[in-house]
A and B are shown apart, each in its own frame.
Chain A
Amino acid sequence: MSGLTFSSDGKTATLQMTNVPIIDQPRWPAMDAETTPAFLDFRLVFASTDEPVKYEDPMRQYRFEGFKAIAKLEASVRVPSIDFAFKTDPLDTSKCDFAVMGEEVNGRYYEASKT
């Protein structure tokens, strides 16, 4: 099933999508890099830790408050025109260097939400 779901305690979020149209562009970011249609299925799971984080920049009008998280990803990609497909190993085998989850306010909502 595609969609974004949260656990009842809000500490785990799962984003799952199938047949997302994407492009295969091996020579990106070259200006004339050719593209090939491709499709992506993925499941991404965030699990919050208890370590709080707050990132705020009043000059740029944004504030993020939340927690460091553990993120895991499994995905499969298909490039039909060249008969190429790639599938990652199961979710728990992936590693992620940086992940956070929480609440963000920015732009016109920044000043209004100041506490």
Chain B
Amino acid sequence: MAQVDRCAIGLTRRRWLGFGIATAVGTSLRATPVQSQSLPQSCAPPIPQNHEPSNGGSCPYPIPWLDKNGNHNQPAAPNVELSNIYHFKGKLARCSGFQGMGADNQGNRQAWGTPTTDYSYMAGEYWAARQAHQGVFAHT
């Protein structure tokens, strides 16, 4: 899976700095705490050998109606799909609209945050390649 999501974190640089974050975090869900690591690229669909069937790759399936551009450009809100993964069951938390203050490395105090400063975690089971997988994912 190349990316789970891509959105903007509003950290102020000039007026505000658009951080487009293309990050996926996948781990095995065995115990708490769960260690995070970059999702391996091996979830791409393998080329079948010896006329074996192709069941697709083990990458999580995106939300069909949200990912036309490979993005998840739907801010977290009541009564919307909060998961980034389709065919998923498990723990999920989502938040958006962060605001705060901070400072750059020159000591300049600046505000950060936009309505799309949006984070989540998803920890549980997803279905891909015709089998269940366990994983923990972060949307930044």
Contacts and interface: CB of A to CB of B under 8 A. Distances in A.
Interface of A: 1-6, 13, 15, 17, 20-28, 33, 35, 38, 40, 42, 44, 46, 53, 55, 57, 60, 62, 64, 66, 69, 71, 73, 75, 77, 83-89, 93-109, 113
B3 to A, nearest CB: 11
In this complex, the member of A4, A21, A35, A96 whose beta carbon has the largest number of chain B beta carbons within 10 angstroms is: A4
Given A86-B110, A102-B93, A77 B18 contact: no
Given A3-B36, A88-B100, A104 B82 contact: yes
Nearest to B65: A60
Given A21-B23, A71-B119, A4 B34 contact: yes
Contacts of A40: 9, 19, 21, 23, 140
A109 B124 CA distance: 12
A101 B8 contact: no
A62 B90 CA distance: 12
Interchain residue pairs A-B with the least CB separation, the first 6: A97-B97, A107-B87, A101-B93, A99-B95, A71-B95, A88-B102
A95 B98 contact: yes
Given A17-B138, A100-B82, 14 more contacts: A4-B33, A17-B36, A23-B19, A55-B82, A66-B92, A71-B119, A84-B105, A86-B102, A88-B100, A100-B94, A101-B92, A104-B124, A106-B86, A109-B127
Interface in B12-50: 12-14, 17-23, 25, 27, 32-36, 38
Nearest to A97: B97
Contact of B20 (A23, A97, A104, A105): A23
A107 B102 contact: no
A15 B95 CA distance: 12
28 contacts: A4-B138, A5-B32, A13-B121, A20-B25, A20-B140, A23-B22, A38-B19, A40-B9, A40-B21, A46-B95, A53-B78, A73-B95, A86-B11, A86-B102, A87-B104, A89-B100, A89-B103, A95-B100, A98-B96, A99-B93, A103-B92, A104-B90, A104-B124, A105-B88, A106-B63, A107-B87, A107-B88, A109-B87
